[in-house]
Chains A and B, each alone.
Chain A
Amino acid sequence: EPEVTQTPSHQVTQMGQEVILRCVPISNHLYFYWYRQILGQKVEFLVSFYNNEISEKSEIFDDQFSVERPDGSNFTLKIRSTKLEDSAMYFCASTGTRANTGELFFGEGSRLTVL
């Protein structure tokens, strides 16, 4: 069964460092997302991406964040200068159907710990 894969599974970084989280969505999917889950809290939407551009982003997704689909298979989330409060589990998701009505397929997440 096709699945969304994410790397790394866990990354520890120092405050102020740049981090890139990588995702390989399901191959025929068209809509891509990043969500995050701070420990013990709810899952929060960060950004959606379609047709090689951001289609929607939340207030959390400030100038420190960026996304890219560099090669037609990977979908990356970059945090330019990490803060302590960026520590969370980051989930990539994709869907093949129309964005609003389609169920999302989530990866297993990348845990980011900022020290």
Chain B
Amino acid sequence: AQSVAQPEDQVNVAEGNPLTVKCTYSVSGNPYLFWYVQYPNRGLQFLLKYITGDNLVKGSYGFEAEFNKSQTSFHLKKPSALVSDSALYFCAVRDGGASGGGADGLTFGKGTHLIIQP
């Protein structure tokens, strides 16, 4: 079974400061990891993903995330937060299986509210 933990319900950051939203995961095969963002009354928007290769992946709106296999983590980061980054952020994982097959369905974390204060 696959699972995702986002330990913080809410993260508060001052505008211009760096931000981190934490995520840890558990899968039996290779982890395919994703971050999505949800603005109020909207669907989820893809930010970035890790499938293979470089542990540091860069995505939309200046966000990046670092895959850490030993810590089973995929924390979302941004060097300088904007007020417009305020939203609900979801980490998600698919089990890629031992040789690239694996699950279709994404398992999402419960989400972290990111609040950027002016």
Q: How many residues of A contact B (CB 8 A)?
A: 26
Decide yes or no: A56 and B105 within 8 Å by CB, A43-B90, A100-B94 being known contacts.
yes
- Give the complex CA separation of A50 and B105 in angstroms: 12
A101 at the interface (CB under 8 A from B): yes
- Give the complex CA separation of A54 and B57 in angstroms: 32
Choose, from A68-76, A78-86, A106-114, the stretch at the interface: A106-114
Q: Assign chain B's interface to a size class.
A: 20 to 34
**Residue-by-residue, is B42-85 near A (CB-CB < 8 Å gives 1, otherwise 0)?**
11111001010000000000000000000000000000000000
Question: Would you call B104 and A31 a contact (CB within 8 A)?
Answer: yes
B34 at the interface (CB under 8 A from A): yes
Question: Would you call A43 and B100 a contact (CB within 8 A)?
Answer: no
**What's the dominant secondary structure at chain B's contact region?**
loop
Cross-chain pairs A/B with CB under 8 angstroms, 14 sampled: A43-B108, A45-B105, A48-B104, A48-B105, A91-B43, A91-B44, A100-B102, A101-B32, A101-B49, A103-B49, A104-B36, A106-B43, A106-B44, A108-B43
| A interface residues with partner B (beta carbon < 8 Å) | 4, 31, 33, 35, 41-45, 48, 50, 55-56, 58, 91, 93, 99-101, 103-109
